[in-house]
Chains A and B, each alone.
Chain A
Amino acid sequence: MRNRRWLGLAVGAALVAGACTGGPGGTPAPSLQTEIGEGEGELNLVIWAGYAERGEVDPNFDWVTPFEEETGCKVNATAMTDSNNGVSLMQSGDYDGISASGDATTRLIAGGIVAPVNTALLSNYANVFEGLKNLPHNTVDGVNYGVPHGRGPNLLMYNTEVVTEEPTSWTPVWDGTYGGKVSVYDSSIYIADAALHLMTTKPDLGITNPYQLNEEQFNEAIALLEAQRDAGALYWGTYADQIASYTAGDVVIGTSWQFQVNLMQADNQPIAGVLPEEGSTGWSDTWMIAKNAKHPNCMYLWMNHMMSAEANGQATVWFGEAPTSPQACEYAESISPGHCELTHANDEAYYDKIWYWSTPQADCADADDATTCKDQDDWVEAWTTLRGA
């Protein structure tokens, strides 16, 4: 017995020693890649569901197979449920790249999980709309950490047979009109949607940024969410989950993406999506490369591919988001006329009403030192408490 205990301690010590030397961040980071070499034959991606289609759902939408044939990089894509999940997956070191939203990008950069991108190596980068380049969520001190994929708002999705008049505001999602038949995104980032609603209903709270909330503003948002939960709202983590609950009639109204609206309408379901007058939260997605990626060449080839006219055009039409370049717009228009207008691809004024997902920070991400806000940990904990009770 004594022998075994000693053995256990020795093994534990060895493992702990291994922890110091191995793992992400342990080895020195590679400097900026200077050339794209041969593809390594495989590519592991963390994606938003629907970002890497290979024609299984609709044979007209396949931008993965042409990539695989051209580069020999076999694509393995894992869908993340929300940005927190995406960051965690990237921390495992098992993935080469991620299509990160703004609330993940800053954390990935600060955590040293992603490497800067040498955009000079990407021939398609020059085409990207200027308004999408060098934004704070993917560029730090002039160093570029990713290439844009697309952006869009979170929409109010509703069952047209039950909600007979098109809603003009988010209010029906919050005020209990539809009881428990509300579909809510199961992520801590949704607290911002509550805050957004408070910006119109309780302007005295003084919320200027739904992601940076002080104690009082935060508590009001949580109270709103608790009421919604107590009415019996259903929470969705995957788009399939949400689609199933709408189809089954378990929910009739809620927050969603154009993606689900498109899929359900293609299935002849009585569903529509609308952007209410108050605006909405939204996201702007960036392809990023992992710092110790096992297949960096394939990742660079993928990033270039996803900025090409066909790939970006198909992907953004499929998901229902805004393309990133005039060429992609042109292609998108050819398969879905009016797409660029509809998604306001080059309309920066439109996106002023959209609050991109960002990470809550203790310093409120502003110049004023005096202000303190609830940080990412507080948001996640509040969400856990909300969902667990």
Chain B
Amino acid sequence: MTAPPVATSDAAPVAAGLGRRLARRLHPRRRLQVAMLLAGPVGWLVIAYLGALFILLLNAFWEKDAFTGRVEPFAWSLNAFEDLIGNEVYRTITVRTLGMAVLVTATDALLAFPIAYYMARIASPRMRNLLVIAVLMPLWAAYLVKVYAWRTILQGNGLVEWVLSPFGISGPGLDELMNSWLVLSYLWLPYMILPIYAGLERIPTSLLEASADLGAGAATTFRRVILPLVFPALVAGSIFTFSLTLGDYITPDLVSDAKFIGNVIYDNSSLGNLPLAAAFSLLPMGIMTVYLLLARRLGAFESL
């Protein structure tokens, strides 16, 4: 009934006739066209994604049997929320995770900027292509393997220990929260470099020349010309660094033994307390929704 917009190239005359008639019928009906185009993506989004989130949300309000761990559907209760609010540890974990997310975002922005600037404005086109490939490549090395490689670097008999021991300093070991900061900053760095690179590339050189002509030094040009122009791209990149840090449960566990928001959600879902996991997941959902709305206002969506 709903003809796809892409007809086959060797359509028989009958089908072509059908196609033309359908197209003619649709042509004035702009709203119907939009509806047909959006039916697939919106339908998928609503059913597969929003529907799933809805089911999760329902679970946050359902009772769980203390002994068996079974969730009783429609046994409405606020137990999960009471547990979350009543126990101080969840606040500690939230603050720790938010702090880490901000730290990682700031670190990545600082690390990404020089290389993005070099790629966008100084490197030759050939070098630029190579650098883009070089920045993208680590994303193809499996996430788990990169984290585990860092673990072997940071652990007791690893690279860091080996480098530091002649100086009598012992390595961080695996109990350090800052290990997470290091590894998370590492993991999401390419996601920050590429949008900033794209943003910097779009700045016309004439603007920078004009700024110099008007007597501005490098710092001033940076602060008053470059930064405002590349800010949306920065925000776009930060969406990833922030969100990925907020929900990560694998890295903190492997390299630092600490618990983040992601760990609470994962642990509770895999240890049989689904209502608590569901209730707690409302927190990162809420945080990221607010973040996204802010980001959209700052124009980041154009720079994604």
Q: Which residues of A contact B (CB under 8 A)?
A: 4, 7-8, 11-12, 15-16, 19-20, 25, 81-82, 84-85, 87-89, 91, 106-108, 110-113, 180, 232, 234-235, 237, 244-245, 247-250, 359, 361-362, 375-377, 380-381, 384-385, 387-389
Contact = CB atoms under 8 A, between A and B. Distances in A.
B67 A110 contact: yes
Contacts of B47: 11
A362 B272 contact: no
Interface in B241-272: 253, 257, 259, 263-264, 267-272
Contacts of A111: 65, 67-70
A359 B272 CA distance: 14
A387 B259 contact: yes
A346 B51 CA distance: 54
A88 B73 contact: no
9 contacts: A16-B58, A19-B58, A19-B73, A85-B271, A88-B270, A91-B272, A248-B158, A248-B174, A250-B175
A23 B46 CA distance: 21
Nearest to B52: A15
B77 interface: no
B270 A107 contact: no
B92 A388 contact: yes
A84 B266 CA distance: 12
Interface in B153-189: 155-158, 173-175
A106 B67 CA distance: 9
Contacts of A375: 66-67
A384 B264 contact: yes
Given A8-B46, A15-B51, A388-B264, A91 B92 contact: no
Contacts of A250: 155-156, 173-175
Interface in B127-168: 151, 155-158
B93 interface: yes
Contact of B66 (A20, A91, A112, A377): A377
Q: State the main secondary structure of chain A at its contact with B.
A: helix
Contacts, number: 116
Contacts of A232: 175
Contact of B259 (A89, A234, A381, A388): A388
Given A91-B70, A381-B87, 8 more contacts: A84-B69, A108-B68, A248-B158, A361-B67, A384-B268, A388-B89, A388-B263, A388-B264
Contacts of B174: 234, 245, 248, 250
A248 B172 CA distance: 12
B51 A248 contact: no
A385 B155 contact: no
A186 to B, nearest CB: 9
A146 to B, nearest CB: 16
Nearest to B64: A377
Given A110-B67, A111-B68, A389 B271 contact: no
Contacts of A4: 42, 46
Given A19-B55, A235-B257, A248-B157, A385 B87 contact: yes
A244 B87 CA distance: 33
A375 B92 CA distance: 24
Contacts of B118: none
B238 interface: no
A244 B54 contact: no
A12 B58 CA distance: 10
A26 to B, nearest CB: 10
Most chain A C-beta atoms within 10 Å of own C-beta, residue among B54, B87, B156, B253: B156
Contacts of B155: 244-245, 248, 250
B82 to A, nearest CB: 11
Nearest to B65: A111
Given A84-B272, A250-B156, A388-B93, A91 B69 contact: yes
A384 B67 contact: no
A161 to B, nearest CB: 14
A250 to B, nearest CB: 4
Given A381-B87, A385-B87, A389-B92, A88 B173 contact: no
Contact of A249 (B46, B92, B157, B269): B157
B272 A8 contact: no
